[in-house]
Structure 1
Amino acid sequence: MGWKRLAAVAVVSGLALLTAPTTATAVGVKGIGHNASGLQPNATPGSEWHGSYVWQNKHVWCVQYALPAPDSNVGYKEGDELLTKAGKKLPSDVAANISYLLLRYSTTKSAEEAAALAHLLHTWTSPVDGNVNLGATDPKYLAYDSAFYASKLPPAVMDTVARLKADAEANRGPWTLSATAPKEPLIIGTESSWTVSLVKANGQGVPSAPIDFTLTDATLVDGSVGGKATTGADGSPATIKILPTGPKPSIAANADSPADKPVVHQPISTDNMQRMVTTGGEKKLSANATGQAKTAPGKVKITKIDSETKKAIAGVALRVTSKDQTKPALKQDDTELVGTDGKPLVLQTGADGTVEVPDLRTPQEICLVEVAAPKGYEEFFDPKAPPASCGTLAAGQTLALELVNKPNKPVVPSTIPAGQDGKTPVATASFETQLRPGVMLAVGGLVLLGAALAGFLVWRRQ
């Protein structure tokens, strides 16, 4: 597309057009182009020239065919949008074609391109329309005979006319600039891909187009906060790798586009001279995109152990809560971490005594609260103040917590010493708080037997 050449066209516009020099130069000094081999009937001599003119040391382009060429002694002022010689508005596609071609080719160094551009300008701005016709004797009303000059210009020029026209049809404005943030969630400090695109009026991307951009709450991988991106050679969007540094990363993009309506310059002191067009006008485009970024998620890993043996305790139910040990913790998507009952999620430790809770919002304080005591640890469990372990979860980190359970007190056996100095065996007594039926019968029999023996002994003595 020759974008450096497009930017250079500014040299032929601006305030210099508004002021005439004190010293006159030659009238209608030819610039770059070709002479046709013949002059259209009733046309002003010199109208056979197809190309640029030099006005105050600048190359300019003329409309209002057949009127005298620009005089460097005549000042020009910027006027309104370009109209046809009949004073009518140009069709929108024609106006866009002219703007694009002036932007793209007004600084050409090719005589064929210069002549082709002049031919197209006169064809589009001085067609037969009402009082403007091919037989007019007054140059103000003489239409441009496009077919006549097509036969009088070199074949290479007419080949270039076809090429320029096709270029304008394919690439004319108005162009549309857009910027797009990634659809996936953005993580602060994690690279993400953003796109900027420049699209032509026909919906196709502008190839190899430069796009300037600046970043907010974000940087490039090298730490810079702005730069230049270029669309693909096929017009595909440019991709920019961005690192969000804050919660609202954004990109502001800017690009140049051909104006959809060219601007004409009119002579100040006379109406009997051609109008001038220069760049056709550039249009500044801008686009913005903003995303939402969060800190990286974190996870909690809790280990449940025996306070005495330091061994893991499996199957312990733990409730995941926020700092107050009542409300649910928050997941990375800012929703509450709850179970099917709508209450804070309850998890159980595995065989290794641990349980992990991933994808949690950061930063936040997390607590894991014991729901019920595991078997063998009931004695020291207070349901009104259950054991809990809390900590602050940092971005992208694992919070390691530990929760200790004290085992129940063991049952102490009673012993009866037998012997002295502790050297004799120790017998363990067994106590029963309730007699079994067989034992009761045996004890009753012994009682009756004892009573009978006692009675017999008394009888013998008597």
Structure 2
Amino acid sequence: MLKRLAGVALAAGLAALAMPAVANAEVIEGLGIAVDAQGYRGKPGNTDWLGSYEWGADKQRVWCVQYSLLAPDSGQPYTDGAELLSKGGAPLSEEAAANISYLLLRYGNTQSGDEAAALAHLLHTWTAYPDPDRGVSLDPNSDFRHIAYNSQFHYDALGRKSPAAQQAVDRLKADAEANRGPWATRVTAPKEQQLIGTADTWVVEVTRSGGGQVTNAPFTVELTDATLADGSTTKQLTTPGDGKALGVRVVPTGPNPSFTVKLASPAQRPKVRVPQNNNDMQRIVTTGGVEELTANASTTAKTPPGIVQVGKTDAETGKAIAGTTLKVTAADGTSPAKRQDDTALTGPEGLPVVLQTGADGLATVPDLRTPQEVCVIEVAAAKGYEESFDPNAPPKACGRVEPGQTLVLAMSNKPNKPVVPITIPAGSEGSGVVARAAYTTELRTGALVGFGGVVLVGAALLGVVARRRATARS
């Protein structure tokens, strides 16, 4: 950093005698490189400063945009907000204006001396170009007010002093042409249903006027009802350097996740600060003018779905029971339970869904809305368990399905009373027709009638056989 008296300090060269002095004011060179001077009439010194300056009581970093006029000093007041024009007073081309706005936004606070020199060089190239119709020329006989900036001369001078600075000129120029404004930004929420506590990818796009993504652009994200993968709700991110949109992993924490992007976009035309009552002092810029862009996307999120698993077992042996018919309902035992998409869990006829236990005695119902109370009601008993089933008071198990959890319900059935087989030999020698009967140890009218009928049929058969044998002996 170099301090000079305002009366002799020149931005890339100005004869001291031509400038009014400001008492006790000073010029502070910031970051940049001093290169061989471009000659013109009355040029003082043998170097040109390509870089930033520090101006004002707070030593704000500024950049000059009128080559060879007096460098800004701390005692000079400025007026904000004028449009940046060429040294000859002509409006800048749309491309040059957009390039300047972009480079000041992206590199105005650089900590690299090479980049600072490259930025100053490009600012003079685009603002102090030869314009004979307005009296701005490369003629070395021109004075400081009319000399144009010799871009090729200074580019070569940078190369001799710092090849990295010369390379930075090419890099910054290409960056500006690829990413200059105006910009637009957009956030896209995932299409799939979002689940609270489960991360998904939201997409951030920052696009330039000619199409395509802006690379390496910083922006701020603000989330509500959601966090980033690291748990934060606010963070500064940067668009990728490969020209693709940025995917951001977001974890919903509530029912209405919202994602907001905020970023500074370069203005389409930069603004300049104009020195008050001093036409021989440099106009200066800090940023090219910034437009705040905001984009938002939101969606809804649900708790993760739950599962109900019912196990049906034999009350005496604990073995699985297959083939039990079950109905799944809401807590009232009548209306259907809810699926994850909030539709009713019904069968083809629009009634609560009915299912059967498998060979392992299990029946599983996935993708249920959570949290909710559900009941599983037995509709029909499996074969061998009919006697204990009462359709007017069927077995039922209920519980609460929690997010991402499996509700396990256990139900058991008493088996039918054991059936004892009886074999009645037909004929005294045990040959002939064999009748098999069944009975139950429970004294039920139907069972007794059935058993008696079988016995009677057996007795009649024995009588027939006896008579036939008696006839045969006569």
TM-score (ref. length: structure 2): 0.68
TM-fit CA distance, 1:163 = 4.2
Q: Contact 2:145/2:280 (CA < 8 Å) preserved in 1?
A: no
User: In the alignment, what sits opposite 1:234?
Assistant: 242
User: In the alignment, what sits opposite 1:11?
Assistant: none
Distance 2:410 2:152 in 1: 94
Identity %: 49
Q: Contact 1:28/1:68 (CA < 8 Å) preserved in 2?
A: no
Q: Contact 2:307/2:406 (CA < 8 Å) preserved in 1?
A: yes
Consecutive unaligned residues in structure 1, runs of 5 or more: 1-20, 415-428, 447-462
User: In the alignment, what sits opposite 1:245?
Assistant: 253
Distance 2:283 2:275 in 1: 7
Q: Contact 2:264/2:290 (CA < 8 Å) preserved in 1?
A: yes
Change (3 A) 1:383 1:143: farther
Q: Mapping of 1:289-304 within 5 angstroms?
A: 289-304=297-312
Letter in 1 for 2:35: H
User: In the alignment, what sits opposite 2:154?
Assistant: 153
Change (3 A) 1:113 1:394: closer
Change (3 A) 1:119 1:242: closer
User: In the alignment, what sits opposite 2:50?
Assistant: 51
| Matched residue SS, 2:380 | coil
Consecutive unaligned residues in structure 2, runs of 5 or more: 1-20, 160-165, 418-438, 444-449, 468-474
Distance 1:267 1:27 in 2: 14
| Matched residue SS, 1:390 | strand
User: In the alignment, what sits opposite 1:454?
Assistant: none
User: In the alignment, what sits opposite 1:280?
Assistant: 288
Does 1:25 pair with 2:41?
no
User: In the alignment, what sits opposite 2:85?
Assistant: 83
Distance 2:137 2:216 in 1: 46
TM-fit CA distance, 1:393 = 1.1
User: In the alignment, what sits opposite 1:326?
Assistant: 334
Q: 1:243-297, CA deviations, whole angstroms, 9 ceiling, x for partnerless residues?
A: 3322223333444444433211012234554422223244444443434322222
Distance 2:114 2:251 in 1: 49
User: In the alignment, what sits opposite 1:336?
Assistant: 344
| Matched residue SS, 1:121 | helix
TM-fit CA distance, 1:76 = 0.3
The one of 435, 440, 446 equivalent to 1:411 is 440
Distance 2:62 2:265 in 1: 20
TM-score (ref. length: structure 1): 0.69
| Matched residue SS, 2:134 | coil
Letter in 2 for 1:34: V
The one of 321, 328, 353 equivalent to 1:345 is 353
Does 1:357 pair with 2:365?
yes
TM-fit CA distance, 1:395 = 1.7
Letter in 2 for 1:411: T
Q: Contact 2:88/2:135 (CA < 8 Å) preserved in 1?
A: no
| Matched residue SS, 1:431 | helix
Change (3 A) 1:44 1:37: closer
Distance 2:412 2:113 in 1: 90
Change (3 A) 1:228 1:135: closer
| Matched residue SS, 1:78 | strand
| Matched residue SS, 2:38 | coil
RMSD across aligned C-alpha pairs, in angstroms? 4.6
Q: Mapping of 1:53-202 within 5 angstroms?
A: 55-56=55-56, 60-64=62-66, 69-70=71-72, 72-84=74-86, 89-106=91-108, 117-126=119-128, 132-134=134-136, 145=148, 149-150=150-151, 152-153=153-154, 155-157=156-158, 159=166, 161-202=169-210
User: In the alignment, what sits opposite 1:16?
Assistant: none
TM-fit CA distance, 1:217 = 2.5
Q: Contact 2:125/2:151 (CA < 8 Å) preserved in 1?
A: no
TM-fit CA distance, 1:364 = 0.9
User: In the alignment, what sits opposite 1:422?
Assistant: none
TM-fit CA distance, 1:349 = 1.2
Q: Contact 1:44/1:67 (CA < 8 Å) preserved in 2?
A: no
User: In the alignment, what sits opposite 1:8?
Assistant: none
| Matched residue SS, 1:371 | strand
Distance 1:59 1:110 in 2: 14
